[in-house]
Amino acid sequence: MSETNQETLEQPPIKLVMNQLPDANVPFESPLHHVELTKIAEHSGSQGGVVFRELSLGLLTLRCTPNAEQAASIEGILGVALPSNPLTSITSANGELTVMWISPDEWLLQVPQDKAFELESRFFAEVSGHVSLVNVSGGMTVFELSGNDVVKVLKKSTPIDFHDSEFPVGKVVSSIFAKSGATICRTSEQTYQLVVRRSFADYLWLWLQDASKEYGLTVMG
């Protein structure tokens, strides 16, 4: 018994990477599944001032203070360098991957849901040293808000300045959002992404419905 323990101890530490979407038959359940957005979308009228869509993406939190070697191998995997300027984000050429700056030693990676496991596996195989990559897809969800009046709704919810001179396309901030928290990224002229905690998804969905009522809300399934 003790011998086997000894053997186990001497083995190199196993890095566990679990595929959170093991099979196409195991459905992914959105935190807003009970709302049935696709049904609401069918009855959604003409284009409102605000358009709401929930995105199902793979989200990974990367924490490290990369040295030159790590930076090179991370860039090799991602295809883009980690954005080192505060509050900026970078999207890869094919649009599949977005890297958001969260903090001086933290980034949020967004990839298509089915690519998260592959990315995570490559990270563990290729990046050495003091680095942590965690798949947080299950704990977060992404709301996409767009439309002519989207900024008015955001202004009601957070103290962040959304003027073009302060909040250009590509900027990303983490802040208070309707007494909850959110990471807000401007992905195009009139499109904003909110990365929110799964447990707050229902509350924020109710909040956003109320806040956008006066401009008209269109839901996309």
Partner 1 sequence: MFHIFCPHCGEYREEEEFHAKGEAHIARPLDPDACRDEEWGEFLYFRTNPRGIHHELWVHAAGCRKFFNITRNTQTYEILEVYKLGEMPSVVAE
Interface residues toward partner 1, by CB under 8 A: 86-87, 102-104, 106, 159-160, 173-176, 181
Rounded CA-CA distance 138/102 in Å is 19
Closest separation in Å from C-beta 173 to partner 1 = 7
Measured CA to CA, the distance from residue 199 to residue 204 in angstroms comes to 10
Where does residue 115 rank: exposed (0-12), middle (13-18), buried (19+ CB within 10 A)? Answer: middle
Closest separation between CB of residue 101 and partner 1, Å? 9
Q: Which residues contact 158 (CB under 8 A, 6 or more apart)?
A: 175, 176, 177, 178, 182, 184
Nearer to partner 1, 112 or 181 (CB): 181
- Least CB distance to partner 1 at residue 63 (A): 11
Both tokens assigned to 97 = 């991957």
CA distance 57 to 96: 10
Tell the smallest beta-carbon distance from residue 3 to partner 1 (Å).
37
Q: Output the smallest distance, CB 86 to partner 1, in A.
A: 5
- Closer by beta carbon to partner 1, 63 or else 115: 63
Give just the sign of the alpha carbon dihedral 201, 21, 109, 146. Answer: negative
Nearer to partner 1, 117 or 171 (CB): 171
